[in-house]
A and B are shown apart, each in its own frame.
Chain A
Amino acid sequence: DTAVSQTPKYLVTQMGNDKSIKCEQNLGHDTMYWYKQDSKKFLKIMFSYNNKELIINETVPNRFSPKSPDKAHLNLHINSLELGDSAVYFCASSQVGVQPQHFGDGTRLSIL
């Protein structure tokens, strides 16, 4: 059973399009996260949600909008995609508080 699953695994699209990435966790965790890993493998947090409430918004452009319909899901919608958005996006989850995070396998977004 996959603990944190993301779809799609690959996303290739044109500049200016709008796209969404979905994330689901079956670990019963209260907190979920989105991270971005750039071409140099640097991994940086974008957002975190605790039980559907936004906790961290790490100065990400407002073209990125996370949405958490329930505590097991955290989706990422990106408007007006730009070349610089090309990266691997990881979803993660944890129990509330300072707890180990479990990562999905990532979504590789490529902007043409």
Chain B
Amino acid sequence: TQLLEQSPQFLSIQEGENLTVYCNSSSVFSSLQWYRQEPGEGPVLLVTVVTGGEVKKLKRLTFQFGDARKDSSLHITAAQPGDTGLYLCAVNMEYGNKLVFGAGTILRVKS
């Protein structure tokens, strides 16, 4: 059983559609991070959420941390082909700054 469960695994949508991806756990975390990874590149940090119920916006991306700090969601409004990539949630286990990742959501936005 993985610490972080991401859903869906794959998502293929048309340009302009909205979507939400989820990151769930039965554990409580002090913070949670979202990364985007494009083909042939390394993951790039998008946001860190630290407070239960927190909502952060990054242009068309909205990130939410659950009230109980066990889960998070990423909502993309009016998806663009440039949003295509692998979206990973991760938590920091603090000792050694060790990141534990979810299995990721592969998003494809078709024009």
Contacts and interface: CB of A to CB of B under 8 A. Distances in A.
Interface of A: 4, 31, 33, 35, 40-45, 48, 50, 55-56, 58, 90, 92, 94, 96-106
Given A97-B97, A98-B31, A98-B97, 17 more contacts: A35-B99, A42-B101, A42-B103, A43-B88, A43-B104, A48-B98, A50-B96, A55-B96, A90-B42, A92-B42, A94-B97, A96-B97, A98-B92, A100-B48, A102-B45, A103-B42, A104-B42
Contacts of A100: 33, 45, 48
Nearest to B94: A98
B65 to A, nearest CB: 16
B40 A103 contact: no
Contacts of B88: 43
A48 B43 contact: no
Contacts of A48: 96-98
Contacts, number: 58
Most chain B CB within 10 A, of A42, A50, A94, is at A42
19 contacts: A40-B103, A41-B104, A42-B103, A42-B104, A43-B104, A48-B98, A55-B96, A56-B95, A56-B96, A56-B98, A90-B42, A90-B43, A94-B97, A98-B92, A99-B97, A102-B45, A103-B43, A105-B41, A105-B42
Most chain A CB within 10 A, of B40, B41, B88, B99, is at B99
B6 to A, nearest CB: 10
Interface size class for chain B? 20 to 34
Contacts of A102: 45
Contact of A31 (B37, B41, B97, B103): B97
B11 interface: no
Contacts of B33: 100
Contacts of B55: none
A94 B106 CA distance: 26
Contact of A45 (B37, B40, B98, B106): B98
